[in-house]
Chains A and B, each alone.
Chain A
């Protein structure tokens, strides 16, 4: 999985590209933690526009991002979430915790 980082005005955006499964997520959690630590953003945006498939590995990523942003007193949003990843996230109740666009 490829990750592109854009940081502007204390908004950290991570654009994910590829398949977000156990294999693809290797290193993603650590990378996300490092980026949050470096930017200390007020808002984290995970952009799923390039995510072609997602299983419960993506739930772990969303939950970790939510945890870290809560610690920072900030917010998290998920953008461009297609039908298949959205169904997985909704099954875990993630839609009740954060905005999924």
Chain B
């Protein structure tokens, strides 16, 4: 178990207007690691995908709670945990396939693929009817201080 050097926990309602808030908050927390613009983009996009998944799939016909935990671990590793208490995923392997979506015409089915591409590690745990937890990790590269 890695030592937690810093953490922030956010809890909010599954309103789509919170997608922007969540990714901005994650970027703000990550700032203490002095990330590059590219790394910030990766973090914001990944949080956006995970939070949007919870809004669209966990609570499709109601509003529910989403929590985003941001942790700073040893060796400049940022860990992001997005959790919901909604519908859950029946088949995680299927859900992780690129372009697979149960979300209709407006969804591209690329959320998990993007998270996996942009972050170093992704873990998905889910129980239908109980909820889903997505854990992402990214090591922020050390920059040469001038």
Contacts and interface: CB of A to CB of B under 8 A. Distances in A.
A56 B106 contact: no
A83 B110 contact: no
The 5 closest A-B pairs by CB, nearest first: A23-B16, A84-B41, A59-B108, A60-B108, A55-B48
Q: Chain B contact residues: over half helix, strand or loop, or mixed? A: helix
Query: Looking at chain A, what size class is its interface with the partner chain?
Result: 20 to 34
Q: Chain A contact residues: over half helix, strand or loop, or mixed? A: helix
A55 B16 contact: no
A87 interface: yes
Given A21-B52, A83-B38, A91-B114, A55 B45 contact: yes
A43 interface: no
Nearest to B112: A56
Contacts of A55: 45, 48-49, 52, 111, 114
Contacts, number: 72
Query: Looking at chain B, what size class is its interface with the partner chain?
Result: 20 to 34
Interface in A22-78: 22-23, 25-26, 29, 53, 55-57, 59-60, 63-64
A19 B24 CA distance: 12
A91 B117 contact: yes
Contacts of A21: 16, 19-20, 48, 52
B114 A88 contact: yes
B124 interface: no
Given A55-B52, A56-B49, A92 B41 contact: no
B111 A56 contact: yes
Contacts of B49: 55-56
Interface string A84-101: 100110011000000000
Nearest to B15: A23
19 contacts: A21-B16, A22-B106, A23-B16, A25-B106, A26-B16, A29-B106, A53-B20, A53-B45, A55-B111, A55-B114, A56-B110, A56-B111, A84-B44, A87-B41, A87-B45, A88-B45, A91-B110, A92-B108, A92-B114
